[in-house]
Structure 1
């Protein structure tokens, strides 16, 4: 009987360990989006309400489109992602947030939602406070 109880406890510990390892990545509730070093920003940084997007059901991979769900989530300005200066091109830092026709950029997604009648920020001053 004791061996059975120990087996059950070991199984529970294994299940708990595996479930903790595969649990969703904890994201900060809020973060500040700033241009990376070497890219001159023309507007103030954006305070991004991560928790609000999570609550709205936005999947992590929508914005973190190269994330494999196993490794650590990288920022948009990580080398090789959106780390280039300028306003055009997929790797431009600006494009990650402002591409109007991309549903995984902030502005692109918010424009889609606005067309659906939802109240979301779409103007510069809504996101970039003075």
Structure 2
């Protein structure tokens, strides 16, 4: 087999393999974050921009920490994730967004960014706008 044929076959195999690779998930645009079914919101729902977080190089698995990289990404409010009422415990809906010592929660991620001079929301009213 000639060198040209080997290179051509290798290139074709590479292109075919790349076309069979799973595509990255398409994140929804702007949305309103609210509690799971059965839990009443005590404050206004929170606006969230996937595009803004993606532009800041926040990876999907940062927030969707149980995602395997292949299956459909589930909402934090999905059954079995953060679907419990109250303010304590790993599965509490409140915890997913407000845990101060977790780089997976909004507050836990935004506080250090704010301290570093970034313009990110950190107070209740900045996220739960009326």
Q: Could you tell me the TM-score, scaled by structure 2's length?
A: 0.85
**Across the two proteins, how many residue pairs are aligned to each other?**
123
Q: Which runs of 4+ in 1 moved over 6 A?
A: none
Alpha-carbon RMSD across the aligned residues, in angstroms, is: 1.9
Correspondences of 1:24-39 after superposition (within 5 Å): 24-39=24-39
Give the Å deviation of 1:13. Answer: 7.1
Is structure 2 residue 103 aligned with structure 1 residue 103? yes
Give the Å deviation of 1:120. Answer: 0.5
Q: Could you tell me the TM-score, scaled by structure 1's length?
A: 0.85
Structure 2, unmatched stretches of 5+, are none
Offset from partner CA, 1:49-72 (integer Å, 9 cap, x none)? 110000000011000000010100
Structure 1, unmatched stretches of 5+, are none
CA contact (8 A) 1:103 1:112 kept: no
Give the Å deviation of 1:14. Answer: 2.9
